[in-house]
Structure 1
Amino acid sequence: MNYIEPILNGLMVGGLYGLFGLGLALAFGIMRIVNIAHGEFVVLAAYLGVTLLAATPLPLPAVFVCVAAAAFVLGWALQATVLNRVLGPNPVPAMVITMGLSIVLRNALVKLYGADIQSIDIGPLQDAGIGVFGISIGLLPVMIFAASALLFVGVNLLLTRTTIGRAFRAAADDYEILETLGFNRRRIYSAAMGLAVALSAIAGLLLAMRSSFSPFSGVERLLIAFEVVIIGGLGSLRGCFLGGLFLGVVQVVGLKLNPNSGPLFGHLAFFAVLLFRHANLGPFFAWGRK
């Protein structure tokens, strides 16, 4: 049985999975917030993209910019008006608030759009393919993988080469030191959440281009994001990307073995990683931490 093609396709899927986890990893790494509404933000962005494409003459790249900008404002406003008020050593209040927000968003999407499955139609590109060593790979998955990799590189450069990125890292390490340097902790947190939601929105648009979605798709995306972040190691961007690749490959190879398995093999692999961690054998991708 030839496993080269499912492995390559799994890597393409894994790039998008890694992007699902990136926004969640940023929110937790910088502010220790477990954003339960993360999946709903992904789906909300997908619906906003569909709406803009249907109601305006904007091309797809402009829709990406508009949706990402709107998501940044939403994340900033959420952090500035609500989450900054409950930040502290206890993560439960923020979890409860974002859980309530996820329920509100999910029901609002059902009310506005119904429960029908939707997607973004990108024309002939949807079915275009390229040949690699005699193996056919979809052009769209390759483009999405490349976009995901570029976003990871861009976020890494932002965190390591810019003033705001260094402020994010300082806030994650010790916010008191951040304030002694003249930064407003709450504004830094608001900007970080804005960036996290914007990245989630881009992931949602890429999801809508690649597959279908519904108002109830957020729970599945949140689960994937959690698995990616935990497999890769909390606070590790490189590990998050590698965790997504690992999960994508396991899931697609599992479908090759059993077409009726769905995401079962991915979840089993995640469970195996948890057992691996519990045995005190170290982070699965510890060498990828940064």
Structure 2
Amino acid sequence: MIWVETLINGALLGGLYALLGIGLALVFGVMRVVNIAHGEFMVLSAFCAVFLANLFPTVPPLLMLIPVIALSFAVGWIYQAVIVNRVVTSPDPLSPLLLTFGVSVILRNVMVEVFGADVRSLQVGELSRASLEIGGLNIGIMPLLTLVLAALLFMVLQLILRHTEFGRIVRATADRRDIVRLSGVKPDRVYNYVMGLSLALGAIGGVLLAVRSSFTPFSGAERLLIAFEVVVLGGLGSFWGALLGGIALGMAQLIGLKIDPNAGLLYAHLLFFIMLLIRPSGLVASKV
């Protein structure tokens, strides 16, 4: 029974990890760019949520997600339009990596300057500790809600990309940038909206992770690593693959902690390494 509970809780944790990775998967699937600053943007969203929660103490903290999501979308749109579009079509694959890495370093130092280096977390009261007992298993309500939210977001995103005009334009831009330009679509503008959506999705994961664990301005690298492993495990550019990759990563982490309480993310990293050896294309090898 203990192992069953461990697997269930691992799957629930995986829903949160999937939220960290879906934005990264979206940008890579459409632009073939790895946004190294993705982790810092998630941490920034968490800082903004904590700041707003302190500014409006009578408002439920999780409602701070609404303005943070909107702000993250706007920041992502501007970030892509002003910075990333300059190198998104560069023949040198290192250009986007170096540029987004530079942005991540700047963001990290700005957060230290503005918010300080103290450890923070988003307090949501009893909700973070509430649980359900089902058949002798203790299931946390907050992790369960996070997994449900992740699944809903994945379904909505899939529906948007498959069955709306915007989604068809995004997929066409991902496949043939030169062709869509001839039809009057501006690929750079499409990329702006994609990056905005990516950072908005990342903000959801960043804020919810701030409820579950503490963070500092230096937590971006850890968030990016988790997001990257989720995307690679699931399959680069695959949304449902990212969900499966997150669940697999969460299960591996909690199984490892059950075997060795000092293991941390070691077993999750081992799963990532083994997956690269036996199936480098990921669990679901498809693109946006």
TM-score greater than 0.5 by the shorter chain: yes
* CA RMSD, 1 decimal: 1.6
Contact 2:253–2:268 (CA under 8 A) maintained in structure 1: yes
Count of residues paired in the alignment: 286
Matched AA of 1:206: L
Give 1:61 deviation, angstroms: 5.0
How far did residue 181 of structure 1 move?
2.9
Alignment-mate amino acid for residue 230 of structure 1: V
Alignment of structure 1 residues 97-112 onto 2, 5 Å: 97-112=99-114
Per-residue deviation, 1:204: 0.8
Q: 1:128 to 1:240 in 2, by over 3 A?
A: same
2:259 alignment partner, one of 252, 257, 260? 257
Alignment of 1:138-153 (within 5 A): 138-153=140-155
Partner residue, 2:210: 208
Give 1:39's aligned amino acid.
Answer: G
Note the C-alpha offset of 1:62: 4.0
- Correspondence for 1:133 among 132, 135, 148: 135
- Specify the alignment match of 1:42 in structure 2: 42
Deviation string 1:189-220 (CA, Å, 9 cap, x unpaired) is: 10001100111111111111222111111101
> Given that residues 68 and 201 in structure 1 are in contact (C-alpha distance below 8 angstroms), is that contact kept between their aligned partners in structure 2?
yes
Task: Tell me what 2:241 maps to.
Answer: 239
SS at match of 1:49: helix
TM-score w.r.t. the length of structure 1 is 0.94
User: Retained in 2: the 8 A contact 1:32–1:91?
Assistant: no
Q: Which amino acid in structure 2 is aligned with residue 76 of structure 1?
A: W
For normalisation by structure 2, the TM-score amounts to 0.95
- For 1:91, which of 86, 90, 93 is the aligned residue? 93
Task: Describe the SS at the equivalent of 2:185.
Answer: coil
Partner of 1:285: 283
Provide the secondary structure at the position in 1 that maps to 2:139: strand
Q: Secondary structure at the match of 2:261?
A: coil
Range moving further from structure 2, 267-276 or 83-92: 83-92
Q: What residue ranges of structure 1 are gaps of 5+ in the alignment?
A: none
Q: Which residue of 1 aligns with 2:70?
A: 69
Question: Quick check: 2:108–2:218 contact (8 Å CA) kept in 1?
Answer: yes
Q: Which amino acid aligns with 2:239?
A: L
* Cα offset, 1:276, TM superposition: 0.7
**2-structure distance, mates of 1:82, 1:190:** 10
- Report sequence identity in percent: 47
Q: CA deviation at 1:227?
A: 0.6
The runs of at least 4 consecutive aligned structure 1 residues that moved more than 4 Å come to 287-290
CA distance in 2, matches of 1:159, 1:233: 18
